[in-house]
Amino acid sequence: MRIKDELKQDAIIQATVKLVNEIGFVSSSVAKIAREANVSPATIYIYYKNKEDLLVSTYVDIKQKLSEALLKNFDESKPFRDILKTVWLNGFEYVAKNIKHYQYAEQFSNSPYSDLVDHVKVEKHFEPMLKVLQKGIDQKVIKNVPHEMLAAFIFYPMMILSNPKLCKTLELSNENIEQAFTLAWDAIKF
Amino acid sequence: MRIKDELKQDAIIQATVKLVNEIGFVSSSVAKIAREANVSPATIYIYYKNKEDLLVSTYVDIKQKLSEALLKNFDESKPFRDILKTVWLNGFEYVAKNIKHYQYAEQFSNSPYSDLVDHVKVEKHFEPMLKVLQKGIDQKVIKNVPHEMLAAFIFYPMMILSNPKLCKTLELSNENIEQAFTLAWDAIKF
Amino acid sequence: MRIKDELKQDAIIQATVKLVNEIGFVSSSVAKIAREANVSPATIYIYYKNKEDLLVSTYVDIKQKLSEALLKNFDESKPFRDILKTVWLNGFEYVAKNIKHYQYAEQFSNSPYSDLVDHVKVEKHFEPMLKVLQKGIDQKVIKNVPHEMLAAFIFYPMMILSNPKLCKTLELSNENIEQAFTLAWDAIKF
Amino acid sequence: MRIKDELKQDAIIQATVKLVNEIGFVSSSVAKIAREANVSPATIYIYYKNKEDLLVSTYVDIKQKLSEALLKNFDESKPFRDILKTVWLNGFEYVAKNIKHYQYAEQFSNSPYSDLVDHVKVEKHFEPMLKVLQKGIDQKVIKNVPHEMLAAFIFYPMMILSNPKLCKTLELSNENIEQAFTLAWDAIKF
DNA sequence: GATGAATGAGTGTTCATTCAT
DNA sequence: CATGAATGAACACTCATTCAT
């Protein structure tokens, strides 16, 4: 027998991301994805239980890579602000390099498919970051507010500024990224 | 006959919003929307050119109402921070009362339908707010950064904190809303 | 609006019966049935909830017509044997004239779709016949055995002899039909 | 290796019969049969040319075993009625013990696959029985009517009474089986 | 001999839209 | 204005079968 072809599976994921970006979630049919991936529609069902599974798996895959990217060069021993800055820059770098994957994730997380994701599992990768946040709170470096509120002023602005759909005219120069970080930092610092 | 018409059109919009919330963009077919609105599918095509038109119009409708809500009690003569606070509270109130409409808009703005919207026109309603922002900059009350960056730290955190899909565990007490405003204000203040 | 076209519905039923006869239950797809009926596949779903519903309805329809045919000229006041003879001849006549419908019913009743039929309702049409059978038993004209056993020696042999699939070489002359009735009568008479 | 092979082939046949009984002819795909038999779909194509071949072979297999069962303890020298009685009882015993195989055969013989069977060959196994029937006719023990008509009053009632799909409420007690034989005998006896 | 990967053609069903009334 | 009937095209998915190992 043949063995599962990882190239094929990768082609399917890439095709999914590409199509969802180009024509949107609604119009991305299994047949079109298959054609884009140079694969038979039936082949997709070897690797994924159904369309839902394909879309969810692709999302989880992206989320994992995003969290890995964010925590690149993560060094708990550094000063709190430096850690945060590193994550901030990592975020912009990832989105710049993986804009399509990022936008796929955006579309996905606002769709009802999102309910099917095991969010606890996905967010586990961010745990080190959460620990650091808590340490910052304990050391009175940042404000003592719920983690989700902190995230709303650190990670989401980053996402929004990176998203050309939402931020149509703002150029993402290094200067702008630095400036935005100042705002984020001012928001949360004690 | 005018009254009857408007009732019908409103029923269609309500049905659209309801269905998109319950079963998502992908599964919301014209036939289902018609059934939900107690109307024939053909009737929808009397009020809207096609499905696209229906979805876009519904979005624009919601956006307009959102902007009206945000600018409720807008008084240019008040101190800058007070103006902002009013908008902030208006925002939370609107989303709390119109969560379904809000989530429809969220799903829509991340879909490719979004490209069909005349964003210039939609954002025109926010102009008074933008003027105030600029005045704040000129008077050195807030930081001199691009408007979009300011928005990313005022309006989007508001949206995110209001969105139960993104903020699953945070209770939206008055205290939390106040606290979040402090963060937003600290982010942008000069 | 247009009104439901009974000719269309009839064409669908005829196409269903014809195709199931020609290519069998397994191969009779909705698309093929639609093509045979000169109708769009989607049209079938206006008249029937799904394929299952189409097949079951067609069966029930045939069964009803069969029971009507069997009870043609039914006259309770006649002697028992005459009543039975009339039914017997009606049966052969019906099958001869409606061989395709009959064979559809045969295929259907041996398929698992059969479980979906409300048999109580279908068999209600035979009730007058059952009453007569019971009277025959009470008057000691026929043997006192369960109705189903009587049916196995009256109605089923009729069906089998009529079925060219099961009875490949037997010519169904009037003489043969008469002869067969003698056997049936001898089987059940007191 | 011979033993392993036969086990596999038998598993395939058993799986076919089981599935056709449980989900019907229409839904019984090669893949499902393979899974049920704990075998790869490709393996089935080693033993059978194609699906058709599998289904037909399974039918012929069952038919052969049925005819063997019917002719168990067949003794041409016994009185005609006793021979018939033995066959009658054998029939009920077989169906009771092999209800699934029997129902498979029923479904099959009403499907168009049935046309692919070499019926002459299949019916050859019944030849001894036909000879006995002819002797009964010649000796004026039973009526001089075509063999198929005799069969319609002996073998088919047996089949029908045994078939829980057709005979839903009749309990197959020994008494009932005896009683039914009386009817069959009365039908054909001279 | 035996396997699971692979597939084009097909499945039942729903789609957005138009038509006749 | 409003309708439900009608449809060709598309949908997600499964089919019987073949192929490389």
Q: What is the CATH number of the domain that holds A21?
A: 1.10.10.60
Q: Is the Cβ–Cβ distance between C96 and C38 less than 8 Å?
A: no
Instruction: Please list, residue by residue across A118-154, b when 16 or more beta carbons sit within 10 angstroms of its beta carbon and e when fewer do.
Output: eeeeeeebbeebeebbeebbeeebbbebbebbbbbbb
- Alpha-carbon distances, residue B47 vs B113, B114, C172 (angstroms): 19, 20, 66
Contact B25 A26 (CB under 8 A): yes
Query: Two tokens at B123?
Result: 């954002």
Longest dimension (CA), chain D: 57
SS3 of residue A142 by DSSP = strand
CA pair distance B56, C21, nearest whole angstrom: 51
Query: Is the CB of B120 less than 7 A from some atom of nucleic acid strand F?
Result: no
- On the question of pLDDT at A3 being above 60, the answer is yes
Q: Tokens 């989700």 correspond to what residue? A: A148
Q: Tokens 């079963």 correspond to what residue? A: B23
Residues 6+ away with beta carbon under 8 Å from C166? C160, D109, D156
Q: What Å value separates CA C95 and C1' F2?
A: 48
Segment A67-80 mean pLDDT: 90
- Alpha-carbon distances, residue B18 vs A30, B10, B13, B160 (angstroms): 27, 12, 9, 21
**C26 vs D23, D26, D176: nearest CB:** D26
Q: Among B169, B159, B37, which residue's Cα sits nearest to residue B110?
A: B159
C189 strand-pairing partners: C142
* Whether residue C110 sits in one domain with residue C40: no
Burial group, residue D5, by CB count within 10 angstroms (0-12, 13-18, 19+): exposed
Number of domains in chain C: 2
Query: Two tokens at B166?
Result: 């993104």
The answer to whether residue B72 sits within a structural domain is yes
Q: Is the Cβ–Cβ distance between C101 and C68 less than 8 Å?
A: no
Q: Is the Cβ–Cβ distance between C66 and C123 less than 8 Å?
A: no
What percentage of residues in chain A have a pLDDT greater than 90?
59
- Residue range A139-168, pLDDT digits in tens: 999 999 998 899 999 988 888 888 877 787
The answer to whether residue C53 sits within a structural domain is no
The answer to whether residue B27 sits within a structural domain is yes
Report the pLDDT value the prediction gives residue D2, as an integer from 0 to 100: 47
* Whether residue C171 sits in one domain with residue C87: yes
* Whether residue A32 sits in one domain with residue A86: no
CA pair distance D110, D141, nearest whole angstrom: 33
Residues 6+ away with beta carbon under 8 Å from C139? C80
Identify the residue among A22, A149, A159 best suited for mutation to test binding to B, counting B beta carbons within 10 A and taking the highest. A149
CA pair distance B45, B41, nearest whole angstrom: 7
CB contact A25 to B (< 8 Å): yes
The answer to whether residue A179 sits within a structural domain is yes
Query: Two tokens at D67?
Result: 């005819």
- CA gyration radius, chain A: 19
* Whether residue D96 sits in one domain with residue D69: yes
CB contact A176 to B (< 8 Å): yes
- On the question of pLDDT at C13 being above 50, the answer is yes
Query: Two tokens at C4?
Result: 């439901």
* Whether residue D44 sits in one domain with residue D66: no
Predicted confidence band at C66 (pLDDT cuts at 50, 70, 90)?
very high
* Whether residue C160 sits in one domain with residue C72: yes
* Whether residue B27 sits in one domain with residue B102: no
Q: Is the Cβ–Cβ distance between A54 and A48 less than 8 Å?
A: yes
SS3 of residue C79 by DSSP = coil
* Whether residue C102 sits in one domain with residue C41: no
Q: What is the CATH number of the domain that holds D111?
A: 1.10.357.10
CA pair distance D128, C115, nearest whole angstrom: 37
Q: Which amino acid is at C73?
A: N
Kindly give the residue spans of alpha helices, DSSP state H, lying in D139-173. Answer: 147-162
Q: Picking from A111-125, A154-168, A169-183, which range would have the lowest pLDDT averaged per residue?
A: A154-168
Report the pLDDT value the prediction gives residue B2, as an integer from 0 to 100: 46
Segment C72-89 mean pLDDT: 91
> Would you give per-residue pLDDT tens digits along chain B (190 residues)?
445 577 889 999 999 999 999 998 889 999 999 999 999 999 999 999 999 999 999 999 999 999 999 999 988 889 989 999 999 999 999 998 998 999 899 889 888 888 889 888 888 888 888 888 898 999 999 999 998 899 999 988 888 888 877 787 888 888 889 999 999 999 999 8
Q: What Å value separates CA A104 and C1' F14?
A: 28
DSSP at A189: B
Residues 6+ away with beta carbon under 8 Å from A166? A160, B109, B156
Segment A85-100 mean pLDDT: 92
- Residue range C133-168, pLDDT digits in tens: 998 999 999 999 998 899 999 988 888 888 877 787
DSSP element (H, E) containing A174: helix A174-188
Report the pLDDT value the prediction gives residue D111, as an integer from 0 to 100: 85
Q: Which amino acid is at D140?
A: K
The answer to whether residue A55 sits within a structural domain is no
* Whether residue B95 sits in one domain with residue B134: yes
| Phi and psi angles of residue C76, each rounded to the nearest 5 degrees, phi first | -60, -20
Q: Is the Cβ–Cβ distance between C153 and D157 less than 8 Å?
A: yes
Contact B149 A25 (CB under 8 A): no
* pTM of the full structure: 0.90
Contacts with A24 from chain B: Cβ below 8 Å = 111-113
Q: Is the Cβ–Cβ distance between B107 and B99 less than 8 Å?
A: no
Residues 6+ away with beta carbon under 8 Å from D40? A1, D34
Q: Picking from A83-97, B74-88, C38-52, C157-171, which range would have the lowest pLDDT averaged per residue?
A: C157-171
Report the pLDDT value the prediction gives residue C59, as an integer from 0 to 100: 96
How many Cβ atoms are within 10 Å of B58's Cβ, its own excluded? 23
Segment A92-104 mean pLDDT: 91
Query: Is the CB of C46 less than 7 A from some atom of nucleic acid strand F?
Result: yes
CA pair distance C130, C123, nearest whole angstrom: 10
Query: Is the CB of D4 less than 7 A from some atom of nucleic acid strand E?
Result: yes
- Alpha-carbon distances, residue C4 vs C9, C30, D35, D169 (angstroms): 8, 20, 45, 41
Identify the residue among A110, A117, A168 best suited for mutation to test binding to B, counting B beta carbons within 10 A and taking the highest. A110
Q: Is the Cβ–Cβ distance between B17 and B104 less than 8 Å?
A: yes
Closest CA in chain A for residue B107: A110
Q: How far is CA D56 from the centre of its chain?
A: 14
* Whether residue B172 sits in one domain with residue B97: yes
The answer to whether residue C122 sits within a structural domain is yes
Helix, strand, coil fractions of chain C, as percent rounded to 5: 75, 0, 25
A189 strand-pairing partners: A142
* Beta-strand runs (E) in chain D: none
How many Cβ atoms are within 10 Å of A165's Cβ, its own excluded? 15
* Whether residue D127 sits in one domain with residue D34: no
Q: What is the dihedral of CA C141, C144, C147, C152, to 10 degrees?
A: -80
Report the pLDDT value the prediction gives residue A46, as an integer from 0 to 100: 95
- Tell me the DSSP string of B69-129: HHTTT--TTS-HHHHHHHHHHHHHHHHHHTHHHHHHHHHHHTSGGGGGS-HHHHHHTTHHH
- φ/ψ region of C81 (left if φ > 0, alpha if ψ in -120 to 50, else beta) reads alpha
The answer to whether residue D128 sits within a structural domain is yes
- Residue range B130-146, pLDDT digits in tens: 888 898 999 999 999 99
The answer to whether residue C19 sits within a structural domain is yes
Which of the other chains make 3 or more beta carbon contacts under 8 angstroms with chain B?
A
* Whether residue C66 sits in one domain with residue C20: no
> Would you give per-residue pLDDT tens digits along chain D (190 residues)?
445 578 889 999 999 999 999 998 989 999 999 999 999 999 999 999 999 999 999 999 999 999 999 999 988 889 999 999 999 999 999 998 999 999 899 889 888 888 899 988 888 888 888 888 898 999 999 999 998 899 999 988 988 888 877 787 888 888 889 999 999 999 999 8
- On the question of pLDDT at C122 being above 90, the answer is no
What percentage of residues in chain C have a pLDDT greater than 70?
99
Higher pLDDT, C48 or C127: C48
Q: Among C36, B36, A175, which residue's Cα sits nearest to residue C44?
A: C36
Residues 6+ away with beta carbon under 8 Å from B60? B117, B122
DSSP element (H, E) containing D137: helix D127-138
- CA gyration radius, chain D: 19
Range of A32's domain?
1-48
